[in-house]
Amino acid sequence: MGINLYEARSQADKAYIYAGDLRNVKSSLQNYQTALQQLWQSDEMLYINNAINDILHKLSAASSELESLSSDIISAANAVKRAEDLAAAQTELNNARNEMDTAERNYDTARRICEANPSVITQSALEQAQRDCDDARRKYDTAVSKVRSLS
C-alpha cells in the first residue's frame, strides 16, 4: 500500500489551520494586554506584561513551527510518492525487459527453424513472432522512458 497523498495534504491543512488558530489567540491576547495596560496602572503590570510577552512569543514560535510542519508534511509525502512511483516503474521496466528477451528468443528460434526446415513453421507464425517481438520492444521502450522521467 502506497502513501495516501490526500491524507497527507489533509494533515498538512490541519496543521496550517492550527497555526492560524494560534495566530488568532495571539491577536486576542494582544488586545487583552492593551486593555489591561489601559485599565490597570500598577507596579505589577511590568511582570504581567513580561509574562504576556513571553506567551505571545511562544504562540508566534508555535504558529511558525506548525506552518513549517505543514510544508514539510507535503514535501515528505511527495518525496515518498515519487520514490514509490519510481520503484513501480523500475519493476515495470524489469518485466518489460523479460518479456522482450522472451519474445526475441522465441522469434530467433522460430526464424532458425523456418530457415532450416520451412515446412515446420509457417510464414504467418514467423510474422506473428516478429510482431510479438516488436510489441515487447515498444513496451520496453515505454518503460525506459517512464523510469527516465521519474529519475
State pTM to two decimals.
Answer: 0.67
Q: How far apart are alpha carbons 78 and 84 in whole angstroms?
A: 10
Contact (Cβ atoms closer than 8 angstroms) between residue 106 and residue 129 = yes
Residue 110: other Cβ atoms inside 10 A = 21
Q: How far apart are alpha carbons 52 and 73 in whole angstroms?
A: 31
Q: How far apart are alpha carbons 6 and 74 in whole angstroms?
A: 10
Q: Around 32, how many Cα atoms within 13 Å sit in the side-chain half-sphere?
A: 13
Helices 5-39 and 44-116, packing angle to 10 deg: 170
* Residue-range domain boundaries for the chain: 5-150
How high is the pLDDT of residue 15?
96
End-to-end CA distance of the chain: 21
pLDDT, tens digit, 9 for 90 and up, residues 28-84: 999 999 999 999 889 999 999 999 999 999 999 999 999 999 999 999 999 999 999
pLDDT, tens digit, 9 for 90 and up, residues 13-30: 999 999 999 999 999 999
Q: How far apart are alpha carbons 50 and 56 in whole angstroms?
A: 10
Q: How far apart are alpha carbons 1 and 140 in whole angstroms?
A: 25
Q: What dihedral do alpha carbons 123, 127, 133, 136 form, nearest 10°?
A: -140
How high is the pLDDT of residue 7?
95
How high is the pLDDT of residue 97?
85
pLDDT, tens digit, 9 for 90 and up, residues 101-121: 888 887 777 777 767 777 777
